[in-house]
């Protein structure tokens, strides 16, 4: 609860988890985990250049056939 009263500064690098991605790639039900003091925004931007984000990976929606 202390983290809610003393939230990380805007622009901080954080880690969060989420239940799933929406159809347009947005995290659903995000939960803050921690501030990443070991990373800078430059590290994040470099990683983004080489890794494909989950939001652009096509989500497979199973279809059900009705008889």
Six token digits for residue 44: 């994040």
Specify the DSSP class assigned to residue 64.
-
pLDDT, one tens digit per residue, over 5-61 is 888 999 999 999 999 988 888 899 999 999 999 999 998 888 888 777 666 666 666
Domain that holds residue 39: 2-55
pLDDT computed for residue 49 by the predictor: 83
Number of domains in the chain: 1
- Closest CA relative to residue 32, chosen from 6, 57, 50, 59: 6
In a domain, 65, yes or no: no
pLDDT computed for residue 34 by the predictor: 93
pLDDT computed for residue 58 by the predictor: 65
For residues 57 and 28, the answer to whether their CB atoms sit within 8 Å is no
Cα 15 to Cα 29: distance, rounded to the nearest angstrom: 14
pLDDT computed for residue 59 by the predictor: 65
pLDDT computed for residue 13 by the predictor: 93
In a domain, 62, yes or no: no
């Amino acid at each position: 609860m202390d983290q809610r009263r003393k939230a990380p500064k805007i622009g901080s690098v954080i880690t969060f988890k989420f239940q799933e991605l929406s159809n347009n790639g947005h995290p659903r039900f995000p939960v803050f985990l921690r501030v990443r003091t070991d990373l800078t925004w430059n590290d994040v931007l470099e990683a983004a250049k080489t890794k494909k984000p989950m939001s652009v990976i096509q989500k497979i929606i199973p279809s059900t056939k009705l008889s």
